[in-house]
Amino acid sequence: MKLRVLMSAYQCGPGMGSVSQIGWEWYSRLARKTPVTLVTHTRNRAAIERAGGAIEGSEIVYVDTEWFARPLYRFAKWLFPKSEHSVFLVSSLDYFVYDRKAYRMLKKRRGEWDAVHAPTPVSPVAPTTLFRLGLPLFIGPLNGGLGVPEAFPEVMREDSGWLIRVRVLGRWLDRLMGSSRRAARVFAANAATRASVHPKAACTVMLENGVELSRFVPAPWPEAPSAANPLRIAYVGRLVPFKGLPMLFEAIERVRAEFPVEAEIVGDGPKRADWEAEVRARGIADIVKFAGNRTLDEAAEAMRRAHVFCLPSVRESGGAVLLEAMASNRPVIAVAYGGPAEVVDGAVGAAIAPAGRASVVEALASALRDVVKNPEEWKKKGAEGRLRAESEYGWDAKVERALEIFRETLGGDGSESRPNGPKATGQTEK
């Protein structure tokens, strides 16, 4: 009999941001392989219903804590009007209200499932009380535990980097609750994440991000950059301080006299107006275009138009966008701190040492020059990236591997004879 999974994904919904997309990928793919009851926040309902609602044979239960979440978000926006990252950290306190409410609601139904999986939040400072259901608990994949990048103090001051240090409180809360220690398995994306969970936790390495290979499809590399054909750079992501785009702008300003270059910036955020003003001041507004928010399909098209994808982020926990660019057959340039350090190397692009602004700007300019000088080598890097995306990072392969680990940990299929599973429904718990 198939394994019956209770999945708690606080963030879950297509097109709602990177972590919500992770939650959606886990639910939508696992529910096609085994019976799943998804528990998620009510704010995700509209996006899920636009995508077709509950997968056939599964159930969705929505937990409503908007009475707390809405005023908390307004307070965070008032407290940190210029820091999206800080607003996110403060408003995420709603997760703990959601989690306790989910436990109170689900404890009467614990006999309906064989295991619990909590894929989001992906932060190790968000422990869950669902181990109290008495079922084997699988957490993650988690990604987090990164320290403050000391070489970029000006960036982290602008993004309220001091709040990152406060996250240690979440680590101690996990120690107190025993969430990771009591889990049957914790999936951890990297060494920093592993070090941030309980030392006695049973951990397995698994990157939290994946890529939808059917959407981010390979395309032929564009005609090599030349005097008549500009080097085209793509960036996709939020426009927030730690993304480090001013370093890319400075690098572009340096090389534009040497060869034609263009950059397409896909995304939006609180720094957009400031950064648009910066490219005007640098005299590169004619070659750096801000495209604003775009759909995933449009973001994929932007990647395929480019010769190279660049992510100058100085504190990137994940880096799903790098996997998407690699799947699109594009070489990638990134600062090797956090998630990008786990993904990018010389075979698929250029990993830049996080040694401070001046060093990164020079390395970015050098990498861009090398793309123009050695286009065939960079074309090969793009091809290697696609191969890695197929073999290591595709969502279906990731979900299948997790399901195997569930079964191995529980023994066999992990289930006993039970009544019929849930039907495709959605309900809200007030």
Give me the pLDDT at residue 296, please.
86
| Structural domain boundaries, residue 255 | 231-391
> Predicted confidence band at 199 (pLDDT cuts at 50, 70, 90)?
confident
Give me the pLDDT at residue 198, please.
78
Does 66 have pLDDT greater than 90?
Answer: yes
Rounded (5°) CA angle 240-279-150: 40
> Tell me: the pLDDT tens digits for 231-281?
999 999 999 888 999 999 999 999 999 999 999 999 999 899 999 999 999
Do 333 and 364 belong to one domain? yes
Do 343 and 382 belong to one domain? yes
CA-CA distances (angstroms) from residue 243 to 10, 48, 156, 340, 369? Answer: 25, 29, 10, 12, 22
> Which tokens sit at 403?
């399901």
Do 295 and 405 belong to one domain? no
> Closest Cα to residue 325, out of 338, 351, 307?
307
pLDDT over 90 percentage in the chain: 63
Helix (H, G, I), strand (E, B) or coil at 207: coil
> Predicted confidence band at 5 (pLDDT cuts at 50, 70, 90)?
very high
Q: Does 342 map to a domain?
A: yes
Do 354 and 335 belong to one domain? yes
Mean pLDDT of 68-95: 82
> Predicted confidence band at 29 (pLDDT cuts at 50, 70, 90)?
very high
Do 101 and 177 belong to one domain? yes
Query: Pick the residue with more confidence: 296 or 317?
Result: 296
Q: Does 16 map to a domain?
A: yes
> Which tokens sit at 319?
């880096």
Give me the pLDDT at residue 2, please.
85
Q: Does 413 map to a domain?
A: yes
Do 375 and 400 belong to one domain? no
Give the chain's mean pLDDT.
Answer: 88
Do 189 and 253 belong to one domain? no
- Provide the CATH number for the domain around residue 45: 3.40.50.2000
Do 13 and 153 belong to one domain? yes
CA distance 191 to 308: 28
Whether the Cβ atoms of residue 265 and residue 235 lie closer than 8 Å to each other: yes
Question: What's the domain count of the chain?
Answer: 2
> Tell me: the pLDDT tens digits for 224-237?
888 889 999 999 99
Q: Does 269 map to a domain?
A: yes
